[in-house]
Amino acid sequence: MSIDWAALGQVFGVTLVVTVGIVGLFTVGIVGTSRKPQREGEAAVATAPGAGARAGAVAAFAMCAAAVAYGIYLIVAA
Amino acid sequence: MEHITLLIGIVIVTALVFDFTNGFHDTANAMATTISTGALRPKTAVAMSAALNLVGAFLSVEVAKTISGGIIDEGAGIRPEVIFAGLVGAIIWNLLTWLAGLPSSSSHALFGGLIGATLVSVGTNGVHGEAVVMKVLIPAVAAPIVAGLASMAATRLTYRLTRNRDEADTAKGYRAGQIASAALVSLAHGTNDAQKTMGVITLALITGGVVAPHADPPMWVIASAGLAIALGTYLGGWRIIRTMGKGITDIQPPQGFAAQTGAAATILASSHLGFALSTTQVCSGSVMGSGLGRKGGVVRWSTAGRMVAAWGLTLPAAGAVAAGAAFLAGQGDWGVAAVAILALGICGAIWAASRRKPIDHTNVNDGPAAEPVGVVTAALRTVSPPPAGQPVRVSDGPEAVDAADTATPAPRAKAATVTR
């Protein structure tokens, strides 16, 4: 009886990094494209996301799409 | 396909029935959170999952050469009766857990059934004990922990990053992301689980001498297995979907996205790195993790406890049913007929019982019927600290209950308004 701790640890590490990474990236994208909630006394212009935030968001979403494509590749190649 | 005997015909039909139950048992894995957050309408979600399962069945040419991954010794005199008995055990356990609305692993049911049937008709030397521990027990314990921790961390992170954003605005994005992760889970499921049935049918064909040993499954086997799992997925195990999407915890779009992404990452990482984890346990674990990751999120431990109990029972229970079936089927042709009739009767009874309180796409998102306060929940309530700034009074029984009750419905009411 030998448990393959190395493989298990590897799976755990990869899963944690990939999950947090993708969810983090996606959240960056969402933050970049979403409005801030309107606060009283604040100008409406300030709530729209800027061009820089928008570009960052697009890049983040693109990386998520690449991760999904890699996932499909893994399934097909398996 | 020349002279397929009646027995092999029965095995093939039984394998397809198992494939069908596998499909509707596991729809919840990919689609439960997608449905409960309103990312997709229930019917759309199951249709998409079914299509991807069908595609997945055709994707991989690397067919499961051994149906059981070395758990049973397939050379040690496995006859079609044994496979038949194993399948009957797996089908009956799948239907029972579906009736109870509990997500349990279809693969474990299949393994358990095959192990039970092999033990009875071949003996202990037909089963590799170490492989059982390595391929079933350890993955079963590790899967929910790995997926749960990953989803919990991801949920924490996403709530932290979006804390000063408009929630209704971000929800749209999360729902879109969820669809992509759910699609990956469905596709991976189709490749893995439809292959298992193909392996079973091919093994039956090989034992009957219809196809040569080590042959790839014929096209009609691939097509019928893919169709069976897709049909099962499309009909949807709504009972299990309700448990996963609403029963374990109340899921908001960010949590659904984190849970689904965690599940997809765990499944792909584990199957790619050669330490396969059970899809069902991965998905349930990640749902629990996302429930723990949100501030104010509540995991209903009594539901989770019943689910974990079902996981523990799956292997022995399916094995016991299959052992009985193998004993009966070993008596000869009348035994096989008796097993078939008994199995049909039990399946019919379970279906009839399910009609008394039907759950389908129309009511899948209703909250769980007021669950009696379980021991664990009650214990958690008593030990959880009172809200900050409130003096602890010994005699405030009703008030403490009020506080605990009002904490729960708030997020659920919000979920109800954003659900289409």
Q: Give me the interface pTM, i.e. the ipTM.
A: 0.82
CA distance A48 to chain B (A): 11
* Spatial contact of B279 and B262, defined as CB atoms under 8 Å apart: no
Flag the least confident range among A8-17, B106-115, B196-205, B284-293: B196-205
The answer to whether residue B266 neighbours chain A at the CB level (below 8 Å) is: yes
Give the domain ranges of chain A: 27-34+42-78
Q: Averaged over B165-188, what is the pLDDT?
A: 85
Residue B141's pLDDT is: 84
What value does the mean pLDDT take over residues B347-368? 80
Nearest-CB residue to B161 (from A31, A76, A78): A31
Q: Return the structure tokens found at A22.
A: 């993708």
Q: Are residues B301 and B374 in contact, defined by beta-carbon separation less than 8 angstroms?
A: yes
Residue scoring higher pLDDT (B205 or B408):
B205
pLDDT over threshold 80, residue B44: yes
Check A15 against B272: CB less than 8 A apart.
no
Q: What angle do CA B289, B291, B295 make, to 5 degrees?
A: 115
Quick one: which H or E segment has residue B176? helix B167-207
Q: How far is CA A26 from CA A36, A47, A50, B265, in A?
A: 17, 20, 18, 14
Q: From B169, which residue of chain A is nearest by alpha-carbon distance? A: A34
Residue B412 scores a pLDDT above 60: no
Residue-level pLDDT at B18:
92
**What are the CB-based long-range contacts (under 8 Å, 24+) for B357-362?**
B359/B101, B359/B238, B359/B239, B359/B242, B360/B236, B360/B238, B361/B42, B361/B43, B361/B46, B361/B236, B361/B238
Residue B202 in contact with partner chain A when CB distance is under 8 A: no
Is pLDDT of B322 > 50? yes
By the 10 Å C-beta count (0-12 exposed, 13-18 middle, 19+ buried), B417 is classed as exposed
Cβ burial of B241 (10 Å; 0-12, 13-18, 19+) is: buried
Q: Domain segments of chain B: what residues?
A: 6-373
Q: Confirm or reject contact between A57 and chain B (CB < 8 A).
A: no
Say if residue B401's pLDDT is above 60: no
Identify the pLDDT of residue B1. Answer: 45
- The minimal CB distance from A7 to the residues B187, B254, B273 is found for B273
Residues 20-49 of A with CB under 8 A from B: 20, 22-24, 26-31, 33-37
What pLDDT was estimated at residue B17? 93
pLDDT > 70: what percent of chain B? 81
Chain A: residue whose CA lies nearest to B135: A3
B28 burial (CB, 10 Å; 0-12 / 13-18 / 19+) is buried
Neighboring chain B residues of A10 at a CB cutoff of 8 Å: 273, 275
Say if A7 is an interface residue toward chain B (CB within 8 Å): yes
Query: Which pLDDT score is estimated for B267?
Result: 86
Q: Quick one: pLDDT band at residue B379, thresholds 50, 70, 90?
A: low
Segment among A11-15, B97-101, B261-265, B383-387 with least mean pLDDT = B383-387
Q: Does residue B367 sit in helix, strand or coil?
A: coil
CA distance B301 to B382: 14
Identify the band that residue B61 occupies on the pLDDT scale cut at 50, 70 and 90.
low
pLDDT at A39: 54
3-state secondary structure of B273: coil
Cβ within 8 Å, pair A20-B188: no
Residue B143 reports pLDDT greater than 90: no
Q: Check residue A47 and report its DSSP letter.
A: G
Q: How far apart are the first and last CA of chain B?
A: 50
* pLDDT tier, B360 (very low <50, low <70, confident <90, very high otherwise): confident
B150 falls in which pLDDT band (50, 70, 90)? very high
Contacts A29 to B, Cβ<8 Å:
173
Nearest to B136 by CA among B30, B275, B321: B275
pTM, entire model: 0.80
Please indicate whether residue B180 or residue B393 has the higher confidence score (pLDDT).
B180
Low-confidence ranges of chain A (pLDDT < 70): 1-3, 36-49, 78
B137 touches chain A (CB under 8 A): no
User: Above 60 in pLDDT, residue B214?
Assistant: yes
Place of tokens 């968001």: A57
pLDDT beyond 90 at B320 = yes
Predicted local confidence at residue B387, as pLDDT: 46
The pLDDT tens digits for B85-124 are 999 999 999 999 988 888 888 888 988 898 899 888 888 7
Taking an 8 Å cut-off on Cβ atoms, the answer to whether A34 and B173 are in contact is yes
Model confidence at B197, in pLDDT bands (50, 70, 90)? confident
- Contact between residue A35 and residue A70 where contact means Cβ atoms under 8 Å apart: no
Average the pLDDT over B4-25 and give the result.
Answer: 88
Chains A–B, number of C-beta pairs less than 8 Å apart: 134
| Mean pLDDT in residue range B383-410 | 43
Using CB atoms, pick whichever of B138, B164, B174 lies closest to residue A36: B164
What is the least distance, in Å, from the CA of B150 to any CA of chain A?
A: 5
A51: closest CA of chain B, how far (Å)? 17
B14: Cβ contacts below 8 Å, ≥ 6 apart = B84, B87, B88, B91
Residue B257 Cα, gap to closest chain A Cα (Å): 8
**Would the pLDDT of B229 be above 70?**
yes
- Asked whether residue B410 carries a pLDDT value surpassing 70, the answer given is no
CB B222 within 8 A of CB B32: no
C-alpha dist (Å) from residue B21 to B15, B76, B146, B303: 10, 28, 27, 22
- Hey, are the CB atoms on B273 and A11 less than 8 Å from each other? yes
